[in-house]
Amino acid sequence: MRLLVHLILFSSLSFALFTLNASSQSEMLTDTCVTCHGENGNSLGPAIPNLGGMTRNYLLGAMLAFKYGENVQLNAAIESDQDLEDVEAFARNSTIMARIAKGYSDDEIKIIADHFSEQELFVSQQEVNLIKAKSGEKLHEKYCANCHEDRGTSSEGDTGVLAGQWRPYFLWTMADYLDGSREMPKKMKIKLKKMVKVSGIESLDLLANYYASVRP
């Protein structure tokens, strides 16, 4: 009987220690991130994306793309790890993240992705032009909604989150996509090029106002 009590006590104690360990480890690893992206993925400035509401695989793809840069290395890293089987990573332009991501092992990046994928979508407070937002909504429905579901609030299909993002970040990202410094899925590229051809480059500003206006 005593042995049993001991066993139970010991195993629950080690479980408690284990969970404590896991959470303080994730806190330690995300220490740097929160100075820019906020405690809950709620970005602290207009050039920095919110991370709340994104899927684990999207976050993993982003971090690995920042870390490995070149497609060859990136694909090799993903293919050599079964846990990354469903991750699709697209090469990315970066001012700061490439340097930061290189400081973490792939296993640490997984813990970081776990942490931020548990945070809720965050809406940045910013001014919105509602007339532009209305036109942006139509463009979204026509060209983007197929993949960026629920008014861009959904990260289903590992698409990232568009709703509530800072307008400057969104516009810079779109500029990167258009000049080829950030890679995107082929079908997104077709839609994006078509939209810009038909409705002009102003359509990006309309979309930016729309996504900024969406409330989950």
Contact set with ligand HEC (CB under 6 A):
32-33, 35-37, 47-49, 51, 58-59, 61-63, 90, 94-97, 100, 112, 143-144, 146-148, 157-160, 162, 170, 173, 184-185, 187-188, 191-192, 195, 207
Q: What are residue 187's phi and psi, to 5 degrees?
A: -70, -30
Residue 26 class from Cβ within 10 Å (0-12 exposed, 13-18 middle, 19+ buried)?
middle
CB closer to ligand HEC, 63 vs 123: 63
Q: Decide if 187 contacts 143 (C-beta within 8 A).
A: no
Tell me how far, at minimum, the Cβ of 144 lies from ligand HEC, in Å.
Answer: 3
- In which residue are the tokens 């793309």 written? 65
Q: How far apart are CA 14 and CA 94, in angstroms?
A: 42
Nearer to ligand HEC, 7 or 190 (CB): 190
* Minimum separation from the CB atom of position 33 to ligand HEC (A): 3
Query: At its nearest, how many Å lie between ligand HEC and the CB of residue 30?
Result: 6
Provide, rounded to whole angstroms, the least separation between the CB of residue 8 and ligand HEC.
38
For the bound state, the minimum distance from the C-beta of residue 15 to ligand HEC, rounded and expressed in Å, comes to 27
Contact 48, 168 (CB under 8 A): no
Is the separation of the CB atoms in 110 and 83 below 8 Å? yes
Which tokens is 186 given? 């082929």
Between 30 and 127, CB nearer to ligand HEC: 30
Q: Which is nearer to ligand HEC, 157 or 216 (CB)?
A: 157
Closest distance of CB 38 from ligand HEC, Å: 10
d(CA 166, CA 188): 21
Using the minimum distance from each CB to ligand HEC, give the nearer residue, 186 or 215: 186
CA atoms within 13 A on the CB side of 2: 0
- In this structure, the number of other CB atoms found within 10 A of the CB of residue 128 comes to 16
Closer residue to ligand HEC, CB minimum distance, 12 or 23: 23
